[in-house]
C-alpha cells in the first residue's frame, strides 16, 4: 500500500465525514418541514435554502465559547471532540463499494466499529459530568443509562450477522451476502437500527436531551463551535448508524450492476435509512426515561436473542 | 388502539403531509390574500373631515392628533351673513398607541375614516409611527370597496332616503 493510495482513501473518508452529515442535516430541515406542512429554509444560498447549514456554521463560529466557572475545564473542552471524532474513525471501516472500495479493510471490522461507536457516547457523559450543572448531570446520567441498556441489543444483533457470515470483517460479510439474508436477519436489523437510534439519542429516544424537562441535557452549558460539534456528531452518528445497518442487514453495495454502481446502492440505502431516522423524529413522541429502559430490556434484548437463535438454527440446518 | 397502530398512524400522517403542498406563504415574495375587512391601517379621507373631533375624543388611548383653525367664508348671497368653516391643519394617528379598536371609524359621522388592509408600515423608531395626514390620505387609495350586501338584505340607508325623497317630489 503506497502513500498516494492511503492519502486518497483518507481524503475520501474525510470528505464523506464532512459532507454526508451536512446533507442529512439539510435533509432533516426540509423533510421535517414538509412533513409538518411547512417549506423549511428557503433563502440562504438562493435556491431552496441549500446553504442554511453553512450559514448556521458561520453563526456558530462567531459565537462566544463560554465555559462555566465551576466546570472541569479540560474535560469540558475535550468532550465535543470525544463525541465527534469516533464517527470519523468509524467511517474508515465502512465499505462503500466492491473491490476494496473502503477506507481500510479490518479483519475485526464489527468489533472495531461497535467499540469506537461506544466511545462517541462518552462525549455526552463527559459533557454532562464536567459542566457543573444539574441539568447537564441529569442528561449525562440518562445518557449513561441508555448506553448501558442499548449497547447489548446492538452487539447481539450485530453478532447474529457475524454468525451468519462466519466472519467479523465488514467487507467479508458483504462478500458472503445473499439476498435472502434480508428476511432472515430482519428482526436483527430492526433491533440494530432501533438500538442505534437510541445510542444516538435521537427521537423517540431523546430523553437525555429532552428540552422540556432538562433544558438540553449534557449540552446545556455549551455554546459556539463546541455546541456545533455536538450537533455535527449527532448527524455524523445518523450517517454511521444508517450506513452500518445498510452494510450489515441490507447488503450494502449489493444490487443490480453492483460492479459499477455498487457505491450508489450503498449511498441510496444509507440515505433511505437516514430518511427513516428523520421520519421517526417527526412522527413519534418521546419515550420517558423508564419506558426507554423497559423497551430495551423487555423488547429489544429478547428479540435480539431470538434472532441469534434463529440464525444459529438456520446456519446448522444449511451447513 | 394498540401501540403499533398508533405508531403506524403517526408515520402515515406525516408521510401524507409531506406529499402535499406546503401551506406556507413566502411573505415578501407572495403578498397575503387578506379578507376585505382586514384591520391593517386607518386611512383618512380628509375631504370629508369637518374637524368635529369625535374620533379624537372617542379614541380610548388618545392616539389621534387634530389641529385646525377657523376661516371666514364670504356670504353666499349679498347682504347675508359671513359663515365660518373649520379647516384641518393636522391629522395624525400614533400607531404606536393605536390598538386597532376601530371606534374612530365607527364614530365618524362624515365617512372620513376607513379601514385599509395595508400593513407594511413598520418603522425602526417608535416615534416615526405617528403618521401624518398625507400618509393617511395616501392610504385611502388602498381601501377596498365595501363588500356587497347579502342577498335580500335591507336597502342601504342612503338609497332608502333618496327614493323616499324622490317619491315626495313626484307626488
> Would you give per-residue pLDDT tens digits along chain B (171 residues)?
566 788 888 888 888 888 888 888 888 888 888 887 888 899 999 888 989 999 999 999 999 999 999 999 888 888 888 888 889 999 999 999 999 999 999 999 988 999 998 888 888 999 889 999 999 999 999 888 887 888 888 888 888 888 888 888 876
Helix, strand, coil share (%) of chain B residues, nearest 5: 35, 20, 45
Q: Which residues in B lie closer than 8 A to residue A282 (C-beta atoms)? A: 14
Cα–chain-centroid distance for residue B145? 11
Instruction: Give, as one character, the DSSP assignment of residue A97.
Output: B
CA distances from A45 to A52, A55, A56 (A): 7, 9, 12
Inspect the interface and report whether the beta carbons of A283 and B7 lie closer than 8 Å.
yes
C-alpha grid cell, residue A219: 449540552
What is the domain count for chain B? 1
Q: Is the ipTM of this complex over 0.85?
A: no
Domain ranges of chain A: 20-28+53-314
Mean pLDDT of A279-291: 88
Summarize pLDDT for B53-72 with one digit per residue, the tens: 999 999 999 999 999 999 99
pLDDT of residue B93: 92
pLDDT of residue A204: 86
Strand partners, B87: B69
d(CA A244, CA A112) in angstroms, rounded, equals 12
pTM metric for this prediction: 0.77
- Asked if residue B122 is part of any domain, the answer here is yes
Residue B117 · residue B34 · CB < 8 Å: yes
Q: Which residue has the higher pLDDT, B171 or A104?
A: A104
With a CB cutoff of 8 Å and minimum separation 6, the contacts of A186 are A249
Inspect the interface and report whether the beta carbons of A35 and B17 lie closer than 8 Å.
yes
The shortest C-alpha distance from B23 to chain A (Å) reads 6
Q: Is B142 helix (H, G, I), strand (E, B) or coil?
A: helix
Cβ-nearest to B18 among A34, A42, A284: A34
Mean pLDDT of A169-189: 83
Inspect the interface and report whether the beta carbons of A35 and B10 lie closer than 8 Å.
no
Q: Which residues in A lie closer than 8 A to residue B24 (C-beta atoms)? A: 37-39
C-alpha grid cell, residue A41: 429554509
Mean pLDDT of A97-116: 80
Best of A42, A280, A282 to mutate (most B CBs within 10 Å, chain B): A282
Q: Which residues in A lie closer than 8 A to residue B18 (C-beta atoms)? A: 31, 34-35
- Asked if residue B167 is part of any domain, the answer here is no
- Asked if residue B117 is part of any domain, the answer here is yes
**A36 — contact with chain B (CB < 8 Å)?**
yes
The shortest C-alpha distance from A279 to chain B (Å) reads 7
pLDDT of residue B29: 83
pLDDT of residue B157: 83
pLDDT of residue A168: 84
Mean pLDDT of A26-43: 88
- Asked if residue B91 is part of any domain, the answer here is yes
Inspect the interface and report whether the beta carbons of A283 and B14 lie closer than 8 Å.
yes
Query: In chain B, whose CA is at the least distance from the CA of A279?
Result: B11
Mean pLDDT of A119-145: 87
- Asked if residue B124 is part of any domain, the answer here is yes
- Residues 2-31, chain B: which have Cβ within 8 Å of A? 7, 10-11, 13-15, 17-18, 20, 22-24, 26
Domain hosting residue B65, numbered range: 38-72+83-146
Cβ-nearest to A34 among B11, B22, B26: B22
Residue B48 · residue B110 · CB < 8 Å: yes
Q: How many CB pairs under 8 A join A and B?
A: 34
The CATH code of the domain that includes B89 is 3.30.70.3270
Inspect the interface and report whether the beta carbons of A39 and B17 lie closer than 8 Å.
no
**A35 — contact with chain B (CB < 8 Å)?**
yes
- Asked if residue B46 is part of any domain, the answer here is yes
**A283 — contact with chain B (CB < 8 Å)?**
yes
Inspect the interface and report whether the beta carbons of B22 and A31 lie closer than 8 Å.
no
Summarize pLDDT for A233-268 with one digit per residue, the tens: 889 999 999 999 998 888 878 878 777 777 888 889
With a CB cutoff of 8 Å and minimum separation 6, the contacts of A157 are A188, A189, A191, A192, A195, A304, A307
pLDDT of residue B3: 65
Annotate A209-222 with b (16+ C-beta within 10 A) or e (fewer): bbeebbbbbbbbbb
Mean pLDDT of A26-33: 90
Q: Which residues in A lie closer than 8 A to residue B25 (C-beta atoms)? A: none
d(CA A287, CA A203) in angstroms, rounded, equals 8
Whole-number mean pLDDT of chain A? 86
Q: Which residue has the higher pLDDT, A113 or B36?
A: A113
pLDDT of residue B25: 84
B55 is in an annotated binding site: yes
Inspect the interface and report whether the beta carbons of A37 and B10 lie closer than 8 Å.
no
- Does residue B81 come out as left (phi exceeding 0), alpha (psi in the -120 to 50 range) or beta? beta
- Asked if residue B88 is part of any domain, the answer here is yes
Residue B116 · residue B40 · CB < 8 Å: yes
Q: Which residues in B lie closer than 8 A to residue A298 (C-beta atoms)? A: none
Query: In chain B, whose CA is at the least distance from the CA of A204?
Result: B7
pLDDT of residue A1: 62
CA distances from B76 to A10, A54, B70, B86, B163 (A): 99, 76, 17, 17, 29
Summarize pLDDT for B9-19 with one digit per residue, the tens: 888 888 888 88
d(CA A54, CA A46) in angstroms, rounded, equals 13
Mean pLDDT of A182-194: 88
B63 is in an annotated binding site: no
- Asked if residue B113 is part of any domain, the answer here is yes
Inspect the interface and report whether the beta carbons of B22 and A284 lie closer than 8 Å.
no
Q: Which residue has the cell 365595501?
A: B146
Q: Is A73 helix (H, G, I), strand (E, B) or coil?
A: helix
Amino acid at each position: 500500500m503506497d502513500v498516494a493510495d492511503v492519502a486518497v482513501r483518507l481524503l475520501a473518508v474525510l470528505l464523506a465525514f464532512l459532507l454526508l452529515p451536512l446533507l442529512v442535516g439539510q435533509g432533516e430541515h426540509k423533510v421535517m418541514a414538509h412533513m409538518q406542512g411547512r417549506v423549511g429554509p428557503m433563502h440562504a444560498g438562493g435556491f431552496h435554502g441549500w446553504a442554511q447549514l453553512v450559514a448556521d456554521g458561520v453563526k456558530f463560529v462567531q459565537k462566544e465559547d463560554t465555559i462555566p466557572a465551576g466546570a472541569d475545564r479540560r474535560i469540558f473542552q475535550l468532550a465535543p471532540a470525544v463525541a465527534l471524532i469516533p464517527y470519523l474513525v468509524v467511517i474508515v471501516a465502512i465499505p462503500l463499494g466492491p473491490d476494496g472500495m473502503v477506507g481500510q479493510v479490518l479483519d475485526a471490522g464489527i468489533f472495531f466499529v461497535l467499540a469506537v461507536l461506544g466511545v462517541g457516547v462518552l462525549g455526552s457523559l463527559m459533557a454532562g459530568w464536567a459542566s457543573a450543572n444539574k441539568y447537564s448531570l441529569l442528561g449525562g446520567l440518562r445518557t449513561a443509562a441508555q448506553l448501558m441498556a442499548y449497547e447489548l441489543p446492538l452487539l447481539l444483533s450485530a453478532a447474529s450477522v457475524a454468525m451468519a457470515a462466519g466472519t467479523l470483517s465488514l467487507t467479508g460479510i458483504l462478500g458472503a451476502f445473499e439476498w435472502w439474508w434480508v428476511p432472515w436477519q430482519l428482526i436483527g436489523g430492526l433491533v440494530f437500527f432501533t438500538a442505534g437510534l437510541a445510542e444516538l439519542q435521537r427521537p423517540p429516544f431523546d430523553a437525555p436531551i429532552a428540552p422540556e424537562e432538562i433544558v438540553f441535557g449534557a449540552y446545556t452549558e455549551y455554546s459556539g463551535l463546541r455546541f456545533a460539534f455536538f450537533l455535527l456528531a449527532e448527524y455524523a452518528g445518523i450517517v454511521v448508524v444508517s450506513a452500518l445497518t445498510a452494510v450489515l442487514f441490507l447488503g450494502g453495495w449489493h444490487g443490480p450492476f453492483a460492479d459499477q454502481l455498487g457505491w450508489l446502492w450503498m449511498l441510496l440505502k444509507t440515505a433511505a435509512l437516514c430518511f427513516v431516522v428523520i421520519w421517526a423524529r417527526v412522527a413519534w413522541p418521546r419515550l420517558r426515561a423508564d419506558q426507554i429502559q423497559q423497551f430495551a430490556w423487555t423488547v429489544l434484548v429478547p428479540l435480539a436473542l431470538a434472532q441469534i437463535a434463529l440464525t444459529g438454527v438456520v446456519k446448522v440446518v444449511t451447513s | 388502539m394498540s401501540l403499533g397502530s398508533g405508531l403506524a398512524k403517526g408515520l402515515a400522517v406525516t408521510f401524507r403531509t409531506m406529499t402535499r403542498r406546503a401551506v406556507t406563504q413566502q411573505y415578501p415574495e407572495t403578498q397575503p390574500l387578506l379578507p376585505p375587512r382586514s384591520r391593517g391601517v386607518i386611512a383618512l379621507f380628509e375631504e370629508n373631515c369637518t374637524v368635529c373631533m369625535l374620533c379624537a375624543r372617542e379614541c380610548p388611548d388618545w392616539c389621534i392628533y387634530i389641529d385646525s383653525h377657523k376661516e371666514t367664508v364670504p356670504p353666499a348671497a349679498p347682504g347675508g351673513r359671513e359663515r365660518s368653516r373649520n379647516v384641518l391643519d393636522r391629522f395624525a394617528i400614533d400607531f404606536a398607541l393605536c390598538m386597532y379598536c376601530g371606534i374612530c371609524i365607527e364614530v365618524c359621522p362624515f365617512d372620513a375614516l376607513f379601514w385599509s388592509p395595508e400593513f407594511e408600515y413598520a418603522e425602526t423608531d417608535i416615534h416615526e409611527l405617528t403618521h401624518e395626514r398625507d400618509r393617511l390620505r395616501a392610504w385611502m387609495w388602498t381601501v377596498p370597496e365595501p363588500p356587497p350586501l347579502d342577498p335580500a338584505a335591507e336597502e342601504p340607508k342612503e338609497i332608502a332616503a333618496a327614493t323616499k325623497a324622490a317619491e315626495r317630489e313626484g307626488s
